Structure 1
Amino acid sequence: MVKKAENIIVGISIGDLNGIGSEVILKTFEDSRMLELCTPVIFANVKILSFARKNFESTAALHGIDNLDQILPGKINVLNVWKEGVDVNFGTNDENAGKYAVKSFVAATSALKEGLVDVLVTAPINKFNIQSEEFKFPGHTDYLDQELEGNALMLMVQDNLRVGLLTDHIPVNEVASHLTEDLIRKKIETVKQSLIQDFSINKPKIAVLGLNPHAGDGGVIGQEENEIMKPAIKKLFEKGTMVFGPYAADGFFGSNQYEKFDAIIATYHDQGLIPFKTLSFGKGVNYTAGLNKIRTSPDHGTAYDLAGKNMADPNSFKEAVYLAIDIYNSRNEYAEISKKPLKTKEK
């Protein structure tokens, strides 16, 4: 059954309480038109959101609930994940804020796994203060990869610009040692499947960027392209995947080559995210492709320098909500089409 728009339940983790998460969430949903697109559920505590609402002079009307059976469409639902009061000190990096960011995220992920929310949108966290004996993950993506089915891949999205990563949160001096034919094959196949089922692109074209300057210059500046990347790309191409490269990364975006492809796969974090954020900052979305559930987030961090000042731009968070809903609908359409038997010609 296809859900009506307002009944698509968007689970939202609050992120770092001292960052801009609460502000961009409230600014997004105080626009009543958003409540016609979905039903938001913020995993936090209604007292925290009420404090933020007063601080930012928000007009958002909050509906506090103690379990997910109490969700009301047309309302900004706030699930009380914890009962105790928590001090909020905007702009401050502290361990307590990290603890509650994790509580919110873990509870929201659990609801996503159980199908109690349809999609998950995560507000920004601080990767340092979330670390504990119970939570030892570099960020959202790594935890989701453990908890959900599939193989997580960070895919940055802004309209038709989509940038994925072969490696993400690892030190630059370890990137080359992580590159294998198997890794490249898996990542390309994940991106291809996501483009088909999540973005409704039947025959996607994918570009892969080289690791070394000038994509190795034929082996003069490194052998990874010749020995690992080209063989992997060639095998996939021969099997019907429209994948090309490896391309020299330095001129790829400046020459607008990226516009010829449905997705670009960078070899490491900054190689992909620097050009992506240069082209789209403020409107980009971080989508975790490759999983059986849908999660998006804005393309920015906690922004402690802006926190509490009523200056944060909610556009990226709003785009993350839009994209999550679009992908949810695309997946449902793909599932319906996949079920239909192929028509045969009448004799």
Structure 2
Amino acid sequence: MARTTLCAGLALGILVAGCGGPEAQGGKAPAAAITINGAGSTFVNPAMSKWAYAYHEAKANTTVNYQSVGSGAGIAQYKAGTVDFGASDAPLSDKERGEMPTPTLHIPVTSGCEVLAYNIPNIGSGLKLSTEAIAGIFLGKIKTWNDPAIARPNPDLKLPAIPITVAHRSDGSGTTFIFTDYLTSSSPEWAKGPGKGKTVNWPVGLGGKGNEGVAGLVKQTPGCIGYVELAYAMQAKLNFGPLQNKSGEYIPPSLESASAAANAAVESMQKDVRVSIVNGAGKDAYPIVGFVYVLVSKTPKDPTKGKAVVDFLKWVLGPGQEMATPLQYAPLPKAVVDLNMAALGGVTTG
């Protein structure tokens, strides 16, 4: 896994923010340097890398290290106490929450779209995929790109009769959780079979590690299709298109369509922020959208580090929101930011 530093610039992967502490000014000793460590979601890594870099620029005594290892591995590291925060696109279940060493808060930090990226010879972006076609492809029942279920909403495209190769995650993944949550909510057959989870028994396909691995499989394999977070698809210059939503409309992924899904969940989040926003109501809602949650201890063993994590997250919830929009992450609704700020106020920070 690549590791970069602020001296080398910003890149996807693990970001180690910091090339040195601040110098004393006016005879005052500089603030003590502190490093906070996080691990988890590859979905959020482009945003987390940018946040870590910018936060160190704003607060030079604080370094944020983030390991993009997947939600499952991030949860495991957080549980083991080897990192100060975890990041997951899949919220902890009540059972998982009870297994954490200390009371754990879920802090949604952003939301974003997952796309179905494909590599079809002579077919560019814009292929429309229906709910029926998506389920059929990932169940292994639709086997070629010229299948009627794919061709029907794309009458102007000459789809080739080549085999479909499915790419999915091989590691425990919140991106998989969001996608299989969508399949479970939209396909009764999928719900009865693989179901939803950070890992599932895939009926068909090749496995890749991380969003990077799935994007790589799609790029290298003619006839391939896989689910990846929007920023990864754009950075890898992969093709993707509009997906059919619950209202029957074909909606492209965008900040606006992700925000429409997030805004529809605000009322239910007043009781519990662990909500599903796939297949959201409304004709403009993109169907495969999820929140990314930072997992943080309410009673950290090291209150100084606990305060540093809280300060970083408050910054993410403030100026960090607009900073992530060029990477196609949707800013949180104000009501969700307010819920987060109230929750962070309850963290013991000494």
Calculate the TM-score normalised by the size of structure 2: 0.25
Which of the two has greater helix per residue?
Answer: 1
Calculate the TM-score normalised by the size of structure 1: 0.25
